[in-house]
Amino acid sequence: MGSIDVWFQDESRVGQQGSQTRIWAPTGTRPRVVKQQQFLNSYIFGAVCPRQKTCAALVVPLVNHQALEMHLKELSTQVPEERHALVLMDRAGWHCAKDLTLPKNVSILHLPPYSPELNPQEQVWQYLKDRYLSNRVFKNLEEITDACCNAWNEFASEAERIASLTQREWAQF
């Protein structure tokens, strides 16, 4: 067993113009779902480690390389002392910033361009939005942030779900 753990990282916007998903309703009815027109939103920076069945996240008001640095610092606290995290992420501008400071136990490997299917963190976003964050109305930024934190904490408490959603055979060391 190696000393490297593969982590998958990505971020997702959650806000007043959020996701709408299908809902159960009696046959022959058409339930109404509210779609907000306001523009408040937050971002969840999330990362998962299928091998360790753990994850790390940060909810922030905007995306930039400083927020990514804070997220990687949080992620580094979840890496066991004798291990190293290889974080796979896309090539968003803030991921490729030249002045990005990494914790000593974290390295970054960028995925090829236009390949979201290689990042299982996308399935995590779909799960969180389908289960906790869609068909919602948010009054303010605090409600959005609380919903993001609650959704992530629920997900983080399910170690087997973390593994089942994110395990990839090609990412084993």
Q: Is residue 28 part of a domain?
A: no
Q: Is residue 30 part of a domain?
A: no
Where helices occur in the chain by DSSP H, the ranges are 65-76, 121-128, 141-156, 159-166
Q: Which domain holds residue 107?
A: 4-19+37-171
Q: Is residue 31 part of a domain?
A: no
**Number of independent structural domains in the chain:** 1
Mean pLDDT of 35-56: 88
Strands (E), 40-145: 41-49, 54-60, 84-89, 106-110
Q: What is the pTM of this model?
A: 0.86
Q: Is residue 14 part of a domain?
A: yes
Mean pLDDT of 130-142: 90
Q: Is residue 26 part of a domain?
A: no
Report residue 24's pLDDT band, with 50, 70 and 90 as the boundaries: confident
Q: Is residue 29 part of a domain?
A: no
Report residue 18's pLDDT band, with 50, 70 and 90 as the boundaries: low
Low-confidence winner among 39-43, 153-157, 160-164 (lowest mean pLDDT): 39-43
* Spatial separation of the C-alpha atoms in residues 129 and 44, rounded to whole Å: 12
What are the tens digits of pLDDT across the range 91-127? 999 999 999 999 999 999 999 998 989 999 999 999 9
- What's 43's domain CATH number? 3.30.420.10
Q: What angle do CA 168, 132, 15 make, to 5 degrees?
A: 105
User: Does the pLDDT value for residue 22 go beyond 60?
Assistant: yes
Q: Is residue 25 part of a domain?
A: no
Q: Is residue 134 part of a domain?
A: yes
How many percent of the chain have pLDDT more than 90? 72
